[in-house]
Amino acid sequence: MDGVIYHGNKLLDGVKEFVAWLYRENKEFLFLTNNSGKTPKELQEKLLRMGLEIDASHFYTSALATAKFLSDQSPGCSAYVIGEPGLVCALHDVGITISDYKPDYVVVGEVLNYNYETLCCAVGHILNGAKLIGTNSDVTGPSENGIIPACRALISPIEMATGQNAYFVGKPNPLMMRTGLRILGVHSDDAAMIGDRMDTDIIAGIETGLDTVLVLSGVTSREEIKRYPYRPRLILDGVGEIPDLQS
Ligand SMILES: [Mg+2]
């Protein structure tokens, strides 16, 4: 979403036309985000404030993907959570018990009130056998005030203190893409991944067998593309160009 649909609190050019085209052409679609902080309802409200009306069922976050992964792996498990409501609600909704007594997992996402005490608890749980899960492997993310630490940067003190490496669920892990396709009920051959990052969106699309479209409205610039050993099929300035490709 960030760099494709909006930037901070500003809707990008051509997005309204693109979304109108999605509905007009009866496309199945999901808006993916690696940020685990917000619930689908909160994302829906954020877009509504920017003048875009989209049902909450069209949002798929790394928090939802993490919840799905854990409930598949270990139904009814428990987790100690360092994260925002988007992550806590997602885990709760699939029947995972949020607990700080002998949890099966320590799950870390983006978090605003990051503190030393919770890090100590997390390290203790890992040393007692809990498994370490990160919602996404982004080191940094965008914010209104510039670049801020994201999940991977926040989880690394726990990795260092315990010697345990985290498993990350969000993009570019193909897990999130495969689950997304299943939600849409479409085969990878009939789907496209549209993203602004070569290192997460485009690689995830390629590894899942989707058509790939890089938009230059976000992180990756035209000059950076040639540094990567893989290519998107299409490179566009923004999603606003997509409706015109069809006609
Ligand atoms: Mg993005």
pLDDT of residue 145: 80
pLDDT of residue 246: 64
Say how many Å lie between the CA of residue 89 and the centre of ligand 1: 23
**pLDDT tens-digit series, residues 96-107:** 999 999 999 999
CATH number assigned to the domain covering 6-62+171-246: 3.40.50.1000
Say how many Å lie between the CA of residue 219 and the centre of ligand 1: 7
Say how many Å lie between the CA of residue 65 and the centre of ligand 1: 17
Domain 68-168 indexed as CATH 3.40.50.300: no
pLDDT of residue 96: 98
pLDDT of residue 32: 96
> Ligand 1 (ion): which residues have CB within 5 A?
2-3, 196, 218
Say how many Å lie between the CA of residue 54 and the centre of ligand 1: 18
Low-confidence residues in the chain, pLDDT < 50: none
pLDDT of residue 247: 54
Q: How far is CA 30 from the centre of its chain?
A: 11
What are the start and end residues of each CATH 3.40.50.1000 domain in the chain? 6-62+171-246, 68-168
Say how many Å lie between the CA of residue 205 and the centre of ligand 1: 13
Say how many Å lie between the CA of residue 158 and the centre of ligand 1: 26
Say how many Å lie between the CA of residue 15 and the centre of ligand 1: 14
